[in-house]
Amino acid sequence: MRLPLLLCLLYYFLCDVDGLKILVCFPLPVKSLSILGEGVVRNLLVAGHEVTYITVYPLKNPPKKNFRQIDISSNTAFVAGDHMPSIEFILNNKVEKTPSRDIQLFGQEAARMTLNHENVTKLLEDPNEHFDVILSDLLETELYSGFAVVYECPMIWVYSMGAHWQVLRMIDVAPSPAYDTDYLSSNTIPLSFAERVDELWTRIQWQFYKTFFTQPEERRIYEAVFGAALAKRGRALPDYEEVIYNASLIFANEHDAVRNRPSTPQNFKYIGGIHVEEPVKPLPKDLQDLIDNSKHGVIYFSMGSFLQSKTLPRKLITELLQMFGEFKQTVIWKFEDNSLVDVPKNVQIVNWAPQQSILAHPNVKMFLTHGGLFSSIEAIHFGVPTIGIPALFDQITNVNKAVLNGYALKVELSHDLAKDLKAAIGTMLSDDRYTKKVKELSALYHDRLTKPGPALVYWVEHVVRTRGAPHLRSPALHVPLYQRLYLDLLAIILTTTFAFVLLLRRLCKKSNATKYDQKKTN
Ligand SMILES: *[C@@H]1O[C@H](CO)[C@@H](O)[C@H](O)[C@H]1NC(C)=O
Ligand SMILES: *[C@@H]1O[C@H](CO)[C@@H](O)[C@H](O)[C@H]1NC(C)=O
């Protein structure tokens, strides 16, 4: 009689994580990041959890059950208008392509706006609100870990890119720059001497700026916002440093078909591909017919959502259209308005493209892309070779990696784009090496124990079940650099040796002197 009861109780304590209350926070005004946020939310809802979603891009048709959105769409204000880069602007100006300082400031500003947003303040000030776990996007700022303090629950980061030092340093040690490049770097592994020095220098600059400028400011924001929220709950605010290095887990939007990743600790989990909805939604009738009937295959062209094709220079657009017209293949171009004239017969302009459904069609032979993160994952997911035209940020790294992996070609974004692109398309059409390689990687990508959605749900529940998963934490996190490098031992050896040499010299001098004295007296 007692045993079943005990088992029930045990079951209750260990397994009752149905219907967790989860706060999912995707505060950056970057449209592509909401793709990841929505993937996370969708999978948590399917598992029966209750999700509160802080988002800049509220869902148009939100699920009715277990779901609430905190609308912070006014955050787009500070990237709208003049700040939105057009492709023409990038082409004609020397834009710093990887401005590490600016990105720190961007992350910080987004956090400041989010945490002071009236809709978030309402949430923070309500003393009846509680959550079992926080999942937040991580980009260059750790401020959102304050939520875990307010709700006294575990913190999990969801990182939109892969494993590299900037995120790993939050839960483990930062891997060496000798084999771990910065996420904005265009260097590829293995590194030459100059590249190694370059990586080290990038890191020093980033860390310098973070330590002396960004972090002190973030501390002020943390103390103001979360201090107020805790005061309402009658609790004291823990120190910022204690909080930011206290995450239970990091999810990274990468996967095993990516080579040259640094080794990662136990609480770092790959969920790349979680944003892909399976089975993919059916294509709209017109696109379905078009692709079905393309005898020579389809080339799909999209510059993503951040950089829009319509912001290309007019002359270049005309040249591109002409160039596409010379191919037998059907070209589907995601172009955001209807201003185009003289569109060749084989070119189909779409203002909006159901990208995953297009790439899933076996007639689609090639993907011309800006090399954004989600597009890069989808190319591998659906096994379509790519021609990358990177413009900014991680696009450069993504395309370099794809080229290195052998399933992509890279074309510089320049005024010669039409000519260069024509050559690249020609190469790719005449050589099936790229297709073979991407199919091989796609098989590798799909060959995993669990799909990313159920994996995410499992780990979130595991963290809650085990109250923050302390058993997964790396002991290296709290070992300071000087101890890891044994600089203290080195210091002891050097001082002892030095003291010993000094002593020896003294003794020698003394005995010489006595000898001399003795000689003299003799
Ligand atoms: C706050 O949320 C509501 C919807 O709940 C939305 O209509 C409003 O625009 C939001 N406020 C701001 C400043 O974004
Ligand atoms: C660190 O995380 C654990 C587990 O989530 C939690 O119990 C603890 O209170 C956190 N510490 C701080 C200082 O927030």
Give the gyration radius of the chain's Cα atoms.
28
d(CA 32, ligand 1 centre) in Å? 21
- Provide the CB-side half-sphere exposure for 63 (13 A, CA): 17
443 to each of 202, 256, 405, how far by Cα in Å? 35, 11, 14
Q: What is the C-alpha end-to-end distance of the chain, expressed in Å?
A: 104
Order of strands across the sheet that contains 298-302: 347-350, 330-334, 298-302, 364-369, 386-388, 408-410
Which SS3 state, helix, strand or coil, does residue 25 take?
A: strand
Centre of ligand 1 from the C-alpha of residue 73, in Å? 7
**Nearest to 311, CA basis, from 53, 90, 20:** 90
Q: Which residues of 54-68 are buried (b: 16+ CB within 10 A; e: fewer)?
A: bbbbeeeeeeeeebe
Distance of CA 33 from the midpoint of ligand 1 (Å): 20
Q: Cβ(73) to ligand 1 under 6 A?
A: yes
Ligand 2 centroid from CA 406, angstroms: 44
Considering only CA atoms, which residue is closest to atom 9 of ligand 2?
A: 152
Give the global pTM. Answer: 0.89
Helix H or strand E segment including 440: helix 433-446
The number of the ligand 2 atom at minimal distance from the alpha carbon of 155 is 5
Which of 14, 274, 307 minimizes the C-alpha distance to 160?
274
246 lines ligand 2 (CB under 6 A): yes
Q: Quick check: CB of 242 below 6 Å from ligand 2?
A: yes
Pick the closest to residue 343 from 357, 351, 333 (CA basis): 333
Distance CA 14, CA 36 (A): 29
Q: What CA–CA distances, in Å, run from 292 to 298, 346, 363?
A: 9, 14, 7
Ligand 2 pocket test target in 246, 267, 459 with most atoms within 8 Å of CB? 246
Rounded-to-integer distance, Cα 369 and Cα 471, Å = 42
Tell me how far the alpha carbon of residue 316 lies from the centroid of ligand 2, in angstroms.
55
How many helices (H) and strands (E) would you count in the chain? Answer: 20, 13
Ligand 1 pocket member 76 (CB < 6 A): no
d(CA 175, CA 196): 13
Residue 267 structure tokens:
């609480």
Would you write out the chain's pLDDT as a tens digit for each of its 522 residues? 455 555 555 554 555 567 999 999 999 988 889 999 999 999 999 999 999 999 999 999 999 999 999 999 998 876 654 455 677 777 777 666 556 688 899 899 999 999 999 999 999 999 899 999 999 999 999 999 999 999 999 999 999 999 999 999 999 999 999 999 998 888 888 999 999 999 999 999 999 999 999 999 999 999 999 999 999 999 999 999 999 999 999 999 999 998 889 999 999 999 999 999 989 999 999 999 999 999 999 999 999 877 778 888 889 999 999 999 999 999 999 998 888 888 999 999 999 899 999 999 999 999 999 999 899 999 999 999 999 999 887 898 899 999 999 999 999 999 999 999 999 999 999 999 999 999 999 999 999 999 999 999 999 999 999 999 999 999 999 999 999 999 999 999 999 999 999 999 999 988 877 776 666 665
| Beta carbon of 71 within 6 Å of any ligand 1 atom | yes
**Helical residues (DSSP H) of 452-486, grouped into ranges:** 452-465, 481-484
Cβ neighbors of 370 (< 8 A, separation 6 or more) are: 302, 303, 304, 307, 388, 389, 390, 391, 395
Atom 5, ligand 2: which residue's CA is nearest? 154
